[in-house]
């Protein structure tokens, strides 16, 4: 049984005074197996965020269904923008999805330690660099020990070294707490380094044009030559 079975018969945004209506999905299906790390690649404005929002249950205005392999799965969501609450401390931001009280704060503190930000627990988000804010967002997404983790370009706008450090961190976090991951990116290198399945999307409406399983060893993932080879194999459809 799939961990996530997505079946979107139709999703459209209605026309508003500011713009035309748009059909984003029609007859779209994607099944994700338990423990898979699926990278979703596709052009800007295609519908990738909309897809994650539908899976997360944040957007219910569509025809179709999203089914999960477990009853009441825990969903973690790392948004494109870290979306930290500026009036809450770093610790309070990580504790947000946890039950209130001392146990939640203890878990949030432990997560902050795992992402290397224990020292900043009492700071406010405005003091943090973008890379640190993204670490906090990761800590918050992992704090609930998610069964399914949705990630929307979580490392965009960082320099290459910063993004590489966060990719390492994500791998370490997942090694400790395996989850099924849907990871949106524009970056083929990032997809090849992280994923064990790459799904290339085109549209509109969104359709799957490549669905590539990747069984790379960690040594192969660290090899630029091997990564370039897979990037080429992905073809011209994917950017990055």
Ligand X SMILES: Nc1ncnc2c1ncn2[C@@H]1O[C@H](COP(=O)(O)OP(=O)(O)OP(=O)(O)O)[C@@H](O)[C@H]1O
Cβ-based nearer residue to ligand X, 225 or 236? 236
**Does 11 interact with ligand X (rule: CB under 6 A)?**
no
Show contacts with ligand X in window 103-162 (CB under 6 A): none
**Does 200 interact with ligand X (rule: CB under 6 A)?**
no
> x/- site string to ligand X, residues 18 to 47, per CB under 6 A?
----x-x-----------------x-xxxx
Show contacts with ligand X in window 46-75 (CB under 6 A): 46-50
How many residues touch ligand X under the rule CB under 6 A: the total is 11
**Least distance in angstroms from the C-beta of 40 to ligand X:** 9
Cβ-based nearer residue to ligand X, 47 or 154? 47
3-state secondary structure the chain: CCCEEEEEEEEEECCECCECCEEEEEEEEEEECCCCEEEEECCCCCCHHHHHHHHHCCCCCCEEEEEECCCCCCEEEECCCCCCCCCCCHHHHHHCCCCCCHHHHHHHHHHHHHCCCHHHCCCCHHHCCHHHHHHHHHHHHHHCCCCEEEEECCCCCCCHHHHHHHHHHHHHHHHHCCCEEEEEECCHHHHHHHCCEEEEEECCCCEEEEEEECCCCHHHHCCHHHHHHHHHHHCCCCCC
Residues near ligand X (CB under 6 A) are 13, 22, 24, 42, 44-50
């Amino acid at each position: 049984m799939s961990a996530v079975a997505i079946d979107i018969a139709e999703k459209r945004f209605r026309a508003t005074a500011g713009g035309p209506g748009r059909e984003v999905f029609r007859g779209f299906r994607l099944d994700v197996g338990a423990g898979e790390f699926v990278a979703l690649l596709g052009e800007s404005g295609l519908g990738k965020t909309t897809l994650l929002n539908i899976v997360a249950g944040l957007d219910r205005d569509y025809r179709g269904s999203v089914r999960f392999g477990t009853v009441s799965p825990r969903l973690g969501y790392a948004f494109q923008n870290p979306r930290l609450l500026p009036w809450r401390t770093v610790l309070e931001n990580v504790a947000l999805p946890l039950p209130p009280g001392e146990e939640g704060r203890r878990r949030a503190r432990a997560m902050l330690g795992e992402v290397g930000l224990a020292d900043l627990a009492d700071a406010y988000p405005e003091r943090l660099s973008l890379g640190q804010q993204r670490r906090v967002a990761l800590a918050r997404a992992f704090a609930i020990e998610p069964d399914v983790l949705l990630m929307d370009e979580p490392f965009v706008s960082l320099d290459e070294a910063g993004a590489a450090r966060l990719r390492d961190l994500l791998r370490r976090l997942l090694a400790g707490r395996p989850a099924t991951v849907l990871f949106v990116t524009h970056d083929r290198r990032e997809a090849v380094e992280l994923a064990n399945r790459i799904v290339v999307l085109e549209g509109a409406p969104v359709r799957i044009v490549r669905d590539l399983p990747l069984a790379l060893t960690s040594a192969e993932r660290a090899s630029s030559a091997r990564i370039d080879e897979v990037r080429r194999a992905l073809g011209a459809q994917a950017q990055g």
